[in-house]
Amino acid sequence: MKYILALIACFTLIFALISFNKNTDQLPLASARVTQVDGLYIFTDCLPTNQFDSIGKVDLGFISGTQYDNIKTNLIKRTKKQFPEAEGLILKLKKNGLDYGIPIVFKKQ
């Protein structure tokens, strides 16, 4: 009888460990890989999952065109010039045309 109970306990423990291991390997459904342009991680319509500090604000200024690529390129250039220590850029694209970017640095863990 003790042998059967010990065997059941072992199988239960093994099953629990395997189940726990599978759950920790999976990423949350909201995780994604972001693109990196000129050394900056670009976040559009999302926020980084790692902790960060915002180090300023970059306005769009004058650009030729209202397409996403033109706006993104302009904000990246301005960020690199005004905030060379920036590691990422959160793009804030507004319907009224007052687009801007938030340069960020990641907190060291």
Is the Cα dihedral 41, 46, 48, 54 positive or negative? positive
For the chain, list the domains and their CATH numbers.
Answer: 36-106 (3.30.1660.30)
Helix, strand, coil percentages for the chain (3-state, nearest 5) = 35, 20, 40
The three-state secondary structure class of 82 is: helix
Q: Tens of pLDDT along 52-69?
A: 999 999 998 776 677 889
Distances (CA, A) of 109 to 22, 58, 62, 105: 25, 26, 38, 12
Residue found under tokens 């423990």? 13
Average pLDDT, the chain: 84
The four Cα atoms 32, 37, 40, 44 give a dihedral, to 10 degrees, of -50
Longest dimension (CA), the chain: 82
pLDDT digits (tens, 9 = 90+) for 6-18: 667 666 767 666 6
d(CA 20, CA 33): 25
Pairing of strands 52-54, 100-106: antiparallel
Instruction: Write down the pLDDT at residue 92.
Output: 93
- Please indicate, yes or no, whether the overall pTM of this predicted structure exceeds 0.75: no
Of residues 63 and 98, which shows the higher confidence score?
98
